[in-house]
Amino acid sequence: METRLGDSEGKARRKKPPVDADQPVDIGDNNAVVDRMKLLLEVVRLAFETDSTRYVTLHLTGNAGAIPIDGVNAGYHSLSQHSRDEDKLDQPTLVESTWSNLGAASSGK
């Protein structure tokens, strides 16, 4: 355990490579789900780019309000509990596709 702690301290003190990016600024509007996800993925990309981490866990919001994506009219949790409601069946796919596309765009930089 002490060896692992020592390794972690050394890594934390090691100089990070320079990056060509502005410091991320938090988005205060909790309803700006897509923009907040873009920001989160940008921070993840920078963390990998600077070798600050090798492991990331993402929590994709279960926002109760409608996610501002064309064709989506409810929060993801509500949509995932669709009970075969025809109006809700395709909407989770729209949300998941948006998250996937944002991740691909972020990792492609």
Q: What is the pLDDT of residue 62?
A: 57
Q: Number of folded domains in the chain?
A: 1
- State how far the Cα of 35 lies from the Cα of 30, in Å rounded to an integer: 10
The confidence band for 63, taking pLDDT boundaries of 50, 70 and 90, is low
Look up the pTM and report it: 0.67
Asked if residues 87 and 52 have their Cβ atoms less than 8 Å apart, the reply is no
The confidence band for 6, taking pLDDT boundaries of 50, 70 and 90, is low
The confidence band for 7, taking pLDDT boundaries of 50, 70 and 90, is low
Q: What is the mean pLDDT of the chain?
A: 81
pLDDT over 70 at 67, yes or no: yes
Give whole-number Cα distances, 83 to 53, 58, 77, 88, in Å: 39, 26, 12, 9
Give whole-number Cα distances, 94 to 3, 26, 39, in Å: 46, 25, 19
What domain range includes position 62? 2-107
